[in-house]
Structure 1
Amino acid sequence: MTELRFERATVRYGSRRRGTTAVTDVNLTVPDGKVVGLVGESGSGKSTLARAAVGLTPLAAGRILLDGQPLRTAQRAGTRRPLQMVFQDPYSSLDPRMTIGASIAEAIPRRHRQGAKARRAEVVRLLGLVGLPADRAAVYPADLSGGQRQRVALARALAGQPDVLIADEITSALDVSVQGTVLNLVRDLQRRMGLSMLFISHNLAVVRYVADIVAVMYLGRIVEYGPAHEVLNHPQHPYTRELLAAAPGAPDAAADQTRADGPGPAVAEPADPHHPPAGCHFHPRCPMGPAMFGDREVCRQRTPSPEGHRHLAACHFATPLTEADPVS
């Protein structure tokens, strides 16, 4: 069993007086062997949460647990790392002065480095896992295409023998024609190896394709969380509905449900993350909030609880569980 859990995780940049809280009291679970798709617009805190998980950004409060134990982020070089991260830009995540083979071999835990011949064999095996020929081990990152570099980044992450893989917008820097191939590879590897995965994207079509569970993030908070088919087909939070309605090729049902709950999105700019609004962070833009309905001052005054709905949804006016349609 390998479960990754964030408990009231908070990340803050800068000083107490002039700093920014990028992630606020996030509770999020990545179950064993499942893919959690974390979605939200730019600046919502998705990548910050990922960086905190692998120790690149310290927590200001809360904790991160792996199988119920506090996660150790400070580890010696050459040791096995239970969490590995694949970054958005494959070129910047690979050392341009190292061959592909050397870069992958560097990530193999020291106790598995049983001589040069064994290391070369393991590099070839890992390249095969991601669909690259063995001769790619001798070339440099600049000699590869973007899609090939991202495959190398995946191979390097797998070399560390992780239990949990964090993929941060790994297809957004790729050509559209290559994205599908990389997504198929990621989904196949995850299923074959039984990895738990936190898959970060702003593209709901991508998340629909790979994720078992969807978490929606807005201004540093998780506003909706549940099984992918539930969140994407029966969204409870108005922000999730807006994301779905804005996605290319969005089902008419998503837009229809948004319109049914109010006269349409409020005319407002996204909130300043340095000075987020009190109460529900989404209320200035919300078609169900006080900008549209004057009697809903609770949205300005109190942070909504995600409990008590069809699935977790941090909205005062999400459908109560007692009134929800039967879960299909």
Structure 2
Amino acid sequence: MSDLTFENVTVRYGTRRRGLTAVDGADLTVPAGTVVGLVGESGSGKSTLARAAVGLTPVTGGRILLGGDPVHRIGGGGNPRPLQMVFQDPYSSLDPRMTIGDSIAEAVPRRVVRGSVARRAEVTRLLELVHLPTDGADRYPAELSGGQRQRVALARALAGRPEVVIADEITSALDVSIQGTVLNLVQDLRRQIGLSMLFISHNLAVVRYVSDIIAVMYLGRIVEYGSVDEVLGDPQHPYTRELLAAAPRPGGALLAVPDDDPALLAVADTEPADPHHPPPGCRFHPRCPVGPLVHPDRQVCLTSEPSATPHRHRAACHFAATTDSATLP
């Protein structure tokens, strides 16, 4: 087992004049044997970072390392693939013309499991691992429910013998009643095989349930990183606080903020920044309740890009230490 590390990773689409930098200098670590939850609103660059890790999107700058080696130099040619990805849509991630047994067997490294008998045994093992009946290997994806298909997709990812699995919104296309089954499966896999995973979601409740560490992404950059208890219990970045304020609480209540709070009013009157033309300095400053919108003397946010604090719980904010989290439950 090895750490997955993103070092100053940048991914850009289009040309220099007409382009979009979807990921901009992102630094992130997935320690071996842990689940790191990556959260952020739509368009923040989460899926792009995931696709870059598995080679589906070219990296413009920076490095993606596994155990200190570039991931694109590891695996292939019938050997185990170091990274495998499970996609959001279980209906399009499987070939409808192949049985689920054939789909899983296709992903098993040829140099690791040799012979048809051994491969069938491996398919049986993987189906059992994801809590699916082994006598269903001859069924087609159309015969399965969404939750069953997503479990097949997980089995197919594990068939490649990866060191890290990247799960991109794997529960968002499922019914709420089925989401819990898939999340419990992720927890079981952690206990049984020491699964390492980068778990991408916009749902903080889901991330809290399955993750050891949370990374928060905004406009292509990681703005906060720390353990689940640290990030959700004592958020240091104002964007993380905004995500928490929008998350439903037990009984339907939201994070209580007075209606006349100037920070709330300032943020409510602004629009998210254009990702094609991100603002200078801190990218969150046009929406920030502790920045120049509310505190005009904090002009540093307009001109200087904040760096993450050098601690285990990191936040890329000039005034992270002044963020008041006393109102959080």
* TM-score bin (small chain): over 0.9
* Conservation of the 8 A alpha-carbon contact between 1:310 and 1:319: no
User: How many Å separate the matches in 1 of 2:259 and 2:186?
Assistant: 32
Give the distance between the partners of 1:52 and 1:199, measured in 2 at CA: 15
Query: How much does 1:119 deviate?
Result: 1.2
Cα deviation, 1:86-122, whole Å, max 9, x if unaligned, reads: 1101121111111100000000000133222211111
> Does 2:138 match 1:141?
no
Alpha carbons of structure 1 residues 176 and 272: separation in structure 2 relative to 1, 3 Å: same
Q: Which residue of 2 aligns with 1:195?
A: 195
Shift of 1:324: 11
2:278 is the counterpart of 1:306: no
Q: Deviations over 1:55-93 (max 9, x none)?
A: 001110000110111112685453210111111011211
Structural RMSD (CA):
2.4
For the 8 Å contact 2:246–2:254, the answer to whether it is kept is no
| 8 Å Cα contact 1:310-1:324 kept in structure 2 | no
Aligned match of 2:78: 78
Residue 256 of structure 1, CA deviation: 5.2
Q: State the secondary structure of the residue aligned to 1:272.
A: coil
Structure 2 CA distance for partners of 1:67 and 1:270, relative to 1, 3 Å: same
Cα deviation for residue 311 of structure 1 reads 2.0
Q: Tell me the CA shift for residue 195 of structure 1.
A: 2.0
**Which SS does the other structure have where 2:72 is aligned?**
coil
Q: Does the C-alpha gap of structure 1 residues 189 and 309 become closer, same or farther in structure 2, counting only changes over 3 Å?
A: closer
CA–CA distance in 2 between the matches of 1:181 and 1:61?
38
Which stretch shows the higher mean deviation, 304-313 or 153-162?
304-313
1:206-285 equivalent positions in 2, closer than 5 A = 206-249=206-249, 255=256, 262-266=263-267, 267-285=269-287
1:164 aligned partner: 164
Q: Is 1:291 aligned to 2:269, yes or no?
A: no
What one-letter code is carried by the residue in structure 2 that aligns with 1:150? Q
- 1:161 is displaced (CA, Å) by 0.7
Unaligned runs of 5+ in 1: none
Instruction: Return the offset for 1:289.
Output: 1.4
Q: Distance in 1 between matches of 2:95 and 2:254?
A: 46
Cα gap change, 1:68 to 1:190, in 2 (>3 Å): same
Displacement of 1:168: 0.5
2:45 alignment counterpart? 45
Q: Which moved more, 1:69-78 or 1:39-48?
A: 69-78
Aligned to 1:27: 27
State the alpha-carbon separation in 1 of the partners of residues 260 and 163 from structure 2: 42
| TM-score normalised by length of structure 2 | 0.92
- Per the alignment, residue 66 of structure 1 pairs with 66
Query: How many Å separate the matches in 1 of 2:2 and 2:322?
Result: 32
**Which stretch shows the higher mean deviation, 10-19 or 189-198?**
189-198
CA separation of 1:144/1:259 partners in 2, compared to 1, >3 Å: closer, same or farther? farther
How has the CA–CA distance of structure 1 residues 62 and 70 changed in structure 2, closer, same or farther, with 3 Å as cutoff? same
Name the CA shift for 1:257/1:154 in 2 (closer, same or farther; >3 Å). farther
1:242 and 1:258 in contact (8 A); partners too: no
Judged with a 3 Å threshold, the aligned counterparts in structure 2 of structure 1 residues 263 and 289 are, in CA distance, closer, same or farther, namely: same
- 1:148-199 deviations in whole A, cap 9, x for unaligned? 0000000000100111111110000000000011000011102211122110
Distance change >3 Å, CA 324–CA 207, structure 1 → 2? closer
Map of 1:60-139 to 2, 5 A cutoff? 60-72=60-72, 76=76, 78-139=78-139
Structure 2 distance, partners of 1:308, 1:71, is 26
Contact 1:241 1:257 in 2 (8 A): no
- Would you say the 8 A contact 1:241–1:255 is kept in 2? no
SS at match of 2:23: strand
1:277 Cα offset (Å): 0.7
Tell me the secondary structure at the aligned position of residue 50 of structure 2.
Answer: helix
